[in-house]
Amino acid sequence: MENRLWKPLALLAPAMSAVLLLLVIPVCFIVVYSFWLRSPTGADIPAFQFGNYAKFFADFFYPSILIRTIRVSLETVLLCVVMGYIPAYFFNRSKTKNKALLLLLIMLPFWISFIIRTMSWINILGDTGLINHYLLKIGLLSRPLGMLYNEGSVLMGLIQYLLPFMILNIYVSLEGIDKSLLEAARSMGCTEWQAFREVTLPLSLPGVSAGCLLVFVLTAGTYLPPMILGGPGNQMIANLIFARVIGTLDWPFGSAISVVLLALLVIIVWTYNRYLGINQIFKALQ
Amino acid sequence: MMKISGWSLIRLYTILVYVFMFVPIVVVMVLSFNPKQFGCFPMTGVSLKWFAELARDGAILTAFKNSMILGACTSVISTAIGILAAMAFVRFDFPGKNTFNTLLLAPIMIPEVILGVALLLFLRWLQQPKSFALLVIGHVVLTLPYVLLIVQARLVGIKKEYEEAAQSLGANAFQTFKEITFPLLAPAILGGVLFSFTISLDDITATLFWATAQNQTLPVKIFGMLRNSISPEINALGTIMVILTVAIPLFAGYLIRKFSTTTT
């Protein structure tokens, strides 16, 4: 038995030590550091006090960034469902020979440089960008519309980044639906729309909710789109962390904000498991 | 009649979503050929001026070189560690297997900002300065889960009997790996190397935490340039990045398909 055990452990050792040393221990460090004090000289003093958290919740400034992060994440989730369900349904039902190519195209953005995808919206929405240029040219506008550096432009960048995740999740759950269920519904006299509403839609909800969880978690921790496409009033919690840690070198406070973000994500994932487990969804629909 | 129009609406909607996804990228590529001084409309011609400008920009070339070296180091280390771990998960049974597997895949779910702060904080506690090595180990942590997923998926498909046959004929564990497992695993290894290379080449958020002025990567350099203004050079650089990051995985996918049809 011992002989059997050392082999897999030896094979796992490099990967496990990498993850333990470079991820698990450092994340524990964030928690420890969040209780430390910052001295006026900039050195960090080991301590156990909740001052950093008190500072975060002291006035409305920091909590409002947290609330904005949650709001923008929810908006992104909603828009991704609205924009993603129909294409996923199209891939599922389409009989075209090019289906593989269409799916490959939807996955393509995963590979295209994130920063390029994000900044590309400046070319579209900017004062001299595509939309303003043509609207000015045909005389619909007399001066450029300010479409950049607001929550709308941040959402554009976020949706373009996250929509493929949503589409794939929905598509996978649609593919998993037994086609004979639809045929049965149709043979019993359902219209196409009724069959969709009563059979396809409920059975695809697990995929939708999995996609929602993924998109929410990824949005809540996002740094780049608010940074590049947003104004000062659109910064999210990841931007705050970066500004405190790299900008003002306030490590203890930056750590406390990181713990707040981690706590938010843990609560979301835990709640999802607790109330929206895949089995729960099936039960709820019966 | 109703059915047809419903379906064509669905198709139209899907096309519009594609337009939304791809127009910005196409615009970047089109504008990179615009000779105008500012990276904006209208197009005043077609030229390679900004690509030539890029080739003369020392800082960008350095960033490009950094990115390539970083990607190469990351992908080799990450794939080597990933293969070993995948072997353990697929070929052996041991207590706590699921927990270990979840732990190794965890970096996918944790926001990069947290990873960035965490590793930097650890380094600060060890009183080490930021260095190129930090970027390498950071990128290994970021890419390891993906390599693990790719190699594991392939390894499950390779029958254990091949390895057992080799061992019953007298090969030791290393010989078995070299002669049997490695050749069969080659497509996944190549896939892992190229995938981790692409992720490393593309990573921005965590890298912003770890990079210094001396070892900027290409995305970090682009990020810095964006803070000044959107110069046409960025569009040209974007075009090159798109071609690089799309061509590499497509090539990998092609190789994997080619190899897997010949080896199985």
pLDDT tens profile B197-216: 989 998 999 999 999 888 89
What pLDDT shows up at residue B264?
42
**Best residue of A29, A32, A115 to probe chain B, by most B CBs closer than 10 Å:** A115
Interface of B with A in 118-137 (CB under 8 A): 118-122, 124-125, 137
Contact B24 A124 (CB under 8 A): yes
Higher-confidence residue of B231 and B188: namely B188
Q: Which residues of chain B have a CB within 8 Å of the CB of A265? A: 111
Please state, rounded to an integer, the average pLDDT across all residues of chain A.
86
pLDDT digits (tens, 9 = 90+) for B94-103: 888 888 888 8
Measure A282 CA to nearest chain B CA, in Å.
Answer: 25
Give the tokens for residue A229.
């496409």
| Percentage of residues of chain B with pLDDT beyond 90 | 31
Q: Which residues of chain B have a CB within 8 Å of the CB of A129? A: 40-41
Contact B241 A123 (CB under 8 A): no
What pLDDT shows up at residue A284?
39
Q: Which residues of chain B have a CB within 8 Å of the CB of A230? A: none
Check the CA dihedral A215-A220-A223-A226 and report its sign: positive
Nearest CB to A120; choose among B28, B41, B89? B28
Nearest CB to B118; choose among A29, A108, A119? A29
ipTM above 0.90, yes or no: no
Q: Which residues of chain B have a CB within 8 Å of the CB of A228? A: 223, 226
**Best residue of A45, A102, A123, A159 to probe chain B, by most B CBs closer than 10 Å:** A123
Q: Which residue has the tokens 């094979």?
A: A11
Interface of A with B in 259-278 (CB under 8 A): 261-262, 265, 269
- Cis peptide leading into residue A144 (ω within 30°): no
* B51/A contact by beta carbon, under 8 A: no
Nearest CB to A5; choose among B94, B137, B205? B94
What pLDDT shows up at residue A212?
92
Does residue A34 belong to any structural domain of this protein? no
Residue B42 has pLDDT above 90, yes or no: no
Q: Which residues of chain A have a CB within 8 Å of the CB of B18? A: 87, 105-106
Residue B5 has pLDDT above 80, yes or no: no
Decide if B67 contacts B61 (C-beta within 8 A): no
Does residue A51 belong to any structural domain of this protein? no
**Best residue of B18, B121, B125, B244 to probe chain A, by most A CBs closer than 10 Å:** B121
What pLDDT shows up at residue A215?
92
* A196/B contact by beta carbon, under 8 A: no
Interface of A with B in 12-71 (CB under 8 A): 12, 14-16, 18-19, 22-27, 29-30, 33
The residue segments making up the domain with residue A173 are: 56-285
Maximum mean pLDDT: which of A122-131, B43-52, B81-90: B81-90
Look at residue A257 and give its three-state secondary structure. Answer: helix
Higher-confidence residue of A12 and B40: namely A12
Does residue A1 belong to any structural domain of this protein? no
Decide if A244 contacts A228 (C-beta within 8 A): no
Does residue A41 belong to any structural domain of this protein? no
Q: Which residues have C-beta within 8 Å of that of residue B77, sequence separation ≥ 6?
A: B136, B140
Give CA separation, A189 vs A181, A182, A286, B111, in Å: 13, 11, 20, 49
Give CA separation, B31 vs A137, A153, B35, B38, B219, in Å: 18, 20, 9, 10, 19
Nearest CB to B242; choose among A15, A84, A113? A113
What pLDDT shows up at residue A3?
57
Does residue A50 belong to any structural domain of this protein? no
Does residue A239 belong to any structural domain of this protein? yes
Does residue A143 belong to any structural domain of this protein? yes
Residue stretches of chain A with pLDDT short of 70: 1-3, 42, 277-286
Q: Which fold has domain B51-263?
A: MetI-like fold (1.10.3720)
Residue B151 has pLDDT above 80, yes or no: yes
Interface of B with A in 8-27 (CB under 8 A): 10-11, 13-14, 17-18, 20-25, 27
Interface of B with A in 212-231 (CB under 8 A): 219, 222-223, 226, 230
| Percentage of residues of chain B with pLDDT beyond 70 | 91
| Percentage of residues of chain A with pLDDT beyond 70 | 94
Does residue A37 belong to any structural domain of this protein? no
Look at residue B159 and give its three-state secondary structure. Answer: coil
User: What CATH number should be reported for the domain holding residue A234?
Assistant: 1.10.3720.10
Q: How much is the average pLDDT of B108-137? A: 90
Decide if A27 contacts B122 (C-beta within 8 A): no
What pLDDT shows up at residue A77?
97
Check the CA dihedral A202-A207-A209-A211 and report its sign: negative
